[in-house]
Amino acid sequence: MKRLSLLPFLLLCACTETIVMDPLEEMPVVVSCVLSRDGGWHEEHPEEERDYTPPAQYLDLYYAQRPSESVRRVISDAAVQVTGPGGPYDFVWNGSRYESAFLPKFDREYKLMIKTADGKELSSSMVFPPDVRLRRYRLIEHASMNNFGNTFAGYYYLQRHYDVSTMGCQWENFRKECFMWIRALENGVPVDKICTTHRGVDNFNVRRDVWSDCAVIDYYAEQFNEFMAWENSRYEAYDPKQYEGMIGLTAPIYVDPELWTRFSNAWLSSPLHDKFLRIYHQAEYDSGLDKPWDNYVANDFRDNQPAEPRDLFVLGADFNPSVKTYSYVDVDTGEKVEYEVPWYQGDCYEVRFMSEAYDKYLKAMVDAHAIHGDELSPVYSTKPVYSNIDGGLGCFGGEWITTINISTGY
C-alpha cells in the first residue's frame, strides 16, 4: 500500500531537483555479533552430561558506508573481548572476521569491549536468553493413506513448553518473558506461509491472506475438521507419566457444536504470516499457562474474537509435495506397474530464542527491509535504527536455536 503515497506526485506533476549535502567527516563503527548456542542435542539430557564442542562465535567490525560508498571498510586490527561466565573470551581476526569459541550460558550477562587501533572504544552488554525451549511437539496426521497404507502429514501442531526444571513444575519460573522467532523450512527453503494463533504473536509480517487460503486446506478441510473436532479429554492435558509431572498444554477441544463451529470459522480466518513468526511472550502475560485453556476459548468467543489457544500452533507451507514414481512387478501377471506417491523429505522448524537486544535489532532489520527502496521513506516520521552499541552502531546479542525436524519421507 505504500504505492498509494505516490498519489500526490502522480496527480500533481511532481518535480525533483538535485541539492548539495556534505557527508560526515567520519563514519561510525558498526558491530555485528550474535552469540549463539545451536541446539543439536536432546533436551532431556542435563546440560552437564552433554558432549559438545564449543561453538564458534563471530564478530564483524567495519565502518558504516557513506551514501556514495559501495565498498565496506573492514576493521581488522581491533582488540575484541567478551567477558562473562567462564570468560573472558578474546576474539581473534581470522582473515575475514573476528572469532572465538565458547558456549554462552543461559540467562547470564555478557559484556563486549572493543578498542580499535585509532583509539575508538565501543562497548555493549546483553543477557543471553533464558533456558526456554520447545519441549515437545505434536504431529497432526491426516487420515489420508497412500497406496501402501502409510499415512503422511503436512501440518504440525507445535507446543512450546517452558523447560525451566527437569522435574516438576515451578509456576513462578514459568512466568519468564522470552522472544521467539520461528521459521518454517520445507526442504531447506523458507516457506511462504506460516500460521499461529498464539496471542503473543507479532503480526507485523502478516500476509494478506488467511489460513483457509492454503490450497491444501481446501482439500483436507473435512478431514482436518474431523480431527480437530475430536474430543480431547483432560486426561490428555495432564499426563504425569509421560511428561514427568509437567502439565501438557494440549488444547482440550471439547466444545459444544455451536462453539466448535465458531472455533472452526475463526480458525480458518486466522491470518497467515509471511515466512516467519515472532512471538513475544511477556512475563506478565495475562493469558498465562496456569489457567484452564477452555476459559480463554470461551472468553475469546464471547468477545467475538478468533480463538487463541495458548499453545503454539504452527502451520507450515501449502501442502505441495513433489511426486515420485515407483514401480513393482505384479506377481500374477509379471507386468511392471508404475505408481506415484507424494514425496516428503521432511520439514524443519527453527525456533530461535533471542536476547532482548537481538530481538529489537532483528525487528528493526525487518522494518528496514520492508521500506528498502522506498524513496518516500524520509517523508514519514523516521525511526532510528535500534542499536545497543555504545560508541558505535549495530548489535551485540544472543540467540538459542532449537530445531525441530519432521521427517515424513519414504
Indicate the Cα dihedral angle 362, 363, 364, 366, nearest 10°.
90
Segment 169 to 188, residues that bind another protein, using CB under 8 A: 181, 183
Q: Which residues of 30-49 are buried (b: 16+ CB within 10 A; e: fewer)?
A: bbbbbbbbebeeebeeeeee
Q: Which of 218, 226, 236, 290 binds another protein (CB under 8 A)?
A: 218
Q: Rounded CA gap, 160 and 154, in Å? A: 19
Can residue 40 be called a binding residue for another protein (CB under 8 A)?
Answer: no
Nearer to another protein, 127 or 385 (CB): 385
Which residues, 63 to 122, sit near another protein by CB under 8 A?
64-69, 72
Nearest residue (CB) to another protein, 23 versus 54: 23
Residues near another protein (CB under 8 A), total: 84
271 binds another protein (CB under 8 A): yes
Q: How far is the CB of 247 from another protein (least distance, A)?
A: 29
Residue 17 touches another protein, criterion: CB under 8 A: yes
- At residue 13, the 3 state secondary structure works out as coil
Do β-strands 206-210 and 322-329 pair in parallel, antiparallel, or remain unpaired? Answer: unpaired
C-alpha cell at 77: 586490527
By CB under 8 A, name the one of 23, 54, 88, 409 that touches another protein.
23
Q: Grid cell 519468564 — which residue?
A: 176
| 50 part of the interface to another protein, by CB under 8 A | no
Instruction: State phi, psi for 161 to the nearest 5 degrees.
Output: -140, 130
Using the contact rule CB under 8 A, the part of the chain among 16-24, 51-59, 151-159, 327-335 near another protein is 16-24
Q: Determine, following the binding rule CB under 8 A, whether residue 298 of this chain makes contact with another protein.
A: no
Least separation in angstroms between CB 85 and another protein: 26
Shortest separation between residue 255's beta carbon and another protein, angstroms: 20
How is residue 64 written as a grid cell? 558504516
Residue 345: other Cβ atoms inside 10 A = 14
Q: Which of 52, 54, 41, 49 lies closest to 82 in space, CA to CA? A: 54
> Taking contact as CB under 8 A, which single stretch among the options 38-46, 107-115, 196-204, 326-334 is the one that binds another protein?
196-204
Number of other CB atoms surrounding residue 387 within 10 Å: 19
Contact stretch for another protein (CB under 8 A) within 100-108, 197-205, 292-300, 326-334: 197-205
Cα(214)–Cα(211) distance, integer angstroms: 6
- Tell me the window of 78-86, 168-176, 263-271, 332-340 that interacts with another protein (CB under 8 A): 263-271
Q: Name the nearest CA neighbour of 122 among 59, 57, 36, 55.
A: 59
CB under 8 A: which stretch of 22-30, 99-107, 128-136, 327-335 binds another protein?
22-30
Which x/- pattern, by CB under 8 A, does the window 301-330 give for another protein?
---xxx------------------------
E strands present in 314-392: 322-329, 336-343, 347-354
Q: Shortest approach of another protein to residue 131 CB, angstroms?
A: 21
- Contact positions with another protein (CB under 8 A) in 325-384: 350, 352, 362, 364-372, 374-384
Residue 65 or 170: the one with the smaller Cβ distance to another protein is: 65
Separation between Cα atoms, residue 410 and residue 405, nearest integer Å: 15
